[in-house]
């Protein structure tokens, strides 16, 4: 979950599963890559945006008849770049919080979005203890 001020970055999925649905950037871990490196690489590949990770939101699982996905979501702050669709994304843009919540189709992703604000707030307090 990448935040630029009060806006959060979403992508419209360009491929299955869930083609055409709004979600967050993500993808598969490459061998030898940390989870944080994966998140930042996928972010760059799918949107052209760079960020710094503020902290872990949580680990989520989605299990259906054909697959088992494990999603490790981080909260991050935008550091550069303007969103442009790339790789698996058909669109990429920043949205105000309420609009982003309405665009997301999955309760799990909406929950992660809400929780990302708490992670960012805690990171800001830790970085600036005064």
Locate the domains of the chain by residue range: 2-127
Architecture of domain 2-127: Alpha-Beta Complex (3.90)
User: CA gyration radius for the chain?
Assistant: 14
First to last CA, the chain: 26
Which pLDDT tens digit goes with each residue over 13-42? Answer: 888 777 889 999 988 899 999 999 999 999
Cα distance between residue 91 and residue 10, in whole Å: 8
Query: Has residue 8 got a pLDDT over 60?
Result: yes
- Residues annotated as catalytic (active site), given as ranges: 91
Q: Give 128's pLDDT tier (boundaries 50, 70, 90).
A: low
CA–CA separation, 49 and 81 (whole Å): 4
Residue 112 · residue 58 · CB < 8 Å: yes
pLDDT value of position 27: 86
Q: Which residue has the tokens 């299955």?
A: 16
Give the span between the Cα atoms of 14 and 21, in whole angstroms: 8
């Amino acid at each position: 979950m990448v935040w630029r001020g009060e806006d959060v970055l979403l992508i419209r999925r360009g491929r299955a599963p869930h083609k055409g649905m709004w979600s967050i950037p993500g993808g598969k871990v490459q061998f030898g890559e940390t989870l944080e490196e994966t998140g930042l690489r996928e972010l760059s590949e799918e949107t052209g945006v760079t960020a710094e990770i503020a902290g872990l939101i949580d680990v989520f699982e989605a299990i259906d008849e054909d697959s088992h996905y494990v999603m490790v979501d981080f909260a991050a702050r935008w550091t550069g770049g303007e969103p442009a669709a790339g790789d698996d994304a058909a669109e990429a843009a920043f949205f105000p919080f309420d609009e982003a919540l309405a665009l997301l189709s999955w309760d799990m992703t909406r929950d992660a979005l809400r929780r990302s604000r708490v992670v960012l707030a805690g990171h800001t307090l830790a970085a600036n203890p005064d």
